[in-house]
Structure 1
Amino acid sequence: MSSSPVSSSGGEVNSGRGHVKIAPEVSDALLCGRAVVALESTIISHGMPYPQNLETAREVEHVIKENGAVPATVAILDGVPCIGLSAEELDRLANLGIKSQKTARRDIAHVVATRGNGATTVSATMFFASLVGIPVFVTGGIGGVHRHGEHTMDISSDLTELGRTPVTVISAGIKSILDIPRTLEYLETQGVTVAAYKTHEFPAFFTESSGCKVHCRLNTPEECARLIDANMKLGLGSGILIGVPIPAEHAASGALIESAIQRALKEASDNNVTGNSATPFLLARVNELTSGASLAANSFLEY
């Protein structure tokens, strides 16, 4: 599955581009050609309080195992990139919380060099997944072009990573606090295949509809697999983004949260809240308007 050297016993591996530690079960699965799914760790350390974050992380790994794959949660601990965490390492990361640095691609070298602890975002997780030959990564929402991004150039590194790293990202979509149309346009510029599962519209995280059509609709897991296989065999060098809409049983709460988002966006505009202050303001206001429902839904959709 991968041309990167993988130790059959796990442990530290010199990939030719730096040392990483691959968990034994992840290493064995890669060597045997079994399915491995990469998971980010920012949601564990920065997305939820302890012990909810640990319980959620364990549940997600359990679901992946129940469906016949091996989970590989990615993080940096004491300067060592870890692909797959032991129960003890997962507990430690959850306990560290925001003491671990939120780590995108740009931060990897610094966290490793200073022997720090890093919770990986989409871009960093994609990088490490590709490094060891994991082709699929599951996450909640991805970053995007921020509103007024045409003036601020505030664009998530998730998007450029998708354009340069051949990993397929399965996502609940793009949160509507971002500029979804410009995000999809930027992904097109980056050469990223954007698909939606059982729908013609790319999902907006909390709601199944964003109003933005996609050119690629996938109706079955087999169609997803064929797309991923073609991308890998062609050596395009870019990733794939597959949006999976919110389940129908959660659509009502999603619509409520989306309504709160639209109200918060108007308040931000009325109060001239822009730049780096915009996202924290919007997230806090939406959580307040929904009496915490957005945080609970966010936890569900992130995994």
Structure 2
Amino acid sequence: MRRARVPALVAVVCTALGALAAPAAAESADVIQWVAMGDSYAAGVIPAAGVEVTGGGQRDGCARTAGSYPEVLRTRLGDAIDLTNVSCGGATIAEVVSDPQSPNGYNLPFFEVYDPGYPFSPVDPQVSAIPESANVVSVQVGGNTLGFAELIYVCLQLGSSADKDTDHPCADYFTSGGDGVPTITERLTEVSRQYGEMLGTIQAVAPNAKVLALGYPAIIPEDPSTCAYGFDAAGLRNFATATYPDLDFLRTEVLERFNATIAQQAATHNVTYVDVYTPTVGHDVCSSDKWIEGLADRSGGWALVHPNAAGHARIADLLEAAVGLG
């Protein structure tokens, strides 16, 4: 996800969180114009989500990968769709709608990973890629506006000197409102406002498009004690030193409320909410059959809590079904 505004290391962690124009489009030979937008959860970004794909051989720093769900759909559906993939690792809602983004690529100094292409030139706001004639627009964004990578980083930082079974220093930190730190409720209120404005903008640009607003997957298990704790290899494949009560907090008070916020705005704007959370339960970071990698993946490579290729394939299934192509 995107670099955050607080501790210096957060910048690294953040890098590495209408109707279909023709209702019978899926039943005819018409090509569906599809624009895929979003952050790293759409772009792929991590090695476990495939190799990087580039347009015309030129890297723009957005780190879109071959195993990401937009590219999976491109391969699966072939000539049935004309897909434009402008998703970009680190994107905020504002960078989807109005602000240029300066992508980070794979520049991860904390992991001693340095991208020879960094720094990259700014890319245009993603909404500028939507033609008025678009049939489908999918968007998965909001995690960087919420600051989810910042939350995870602070949780593992504070949890390193806490009792893993009973302490909840991270929940306290993000609910107290002390030191000027925005609370979870304040963050979600701002996400809701920006998300609603974004959906309105998409509808104005492509009034006949079917808009798909994607939630985020089940990252954290219902029983956090199944997660390995510590900075050893097993812990890094999960959430390192985030305590179990804090993981519960991240699941129920952050991620589930975040998805509910997206769903509510989708309903308000009469667009299709795609529930990614429910179908991925049981395949979280701490599962033996994981669709979301932890801070590191199973090979020891960086992952920073992102979907792997299996997770993206499942999301592609959900999107196919949402437009009647599955």
Which TM-score tier does this pair reach, normalised by the shorter chain?
0.3 to 0.5
TM norm structure 2: 0.37
Q: Which of structures 1 and 2 has the larger relative contact order (alpha carbons within 8 angstroms, sep 6+)?
A: 2
Whichever structure has more strand as a proportion of its residues is 1
Whichever structure has more helix as a proportion of its residues is 1
TM norm structure 1: 0.39
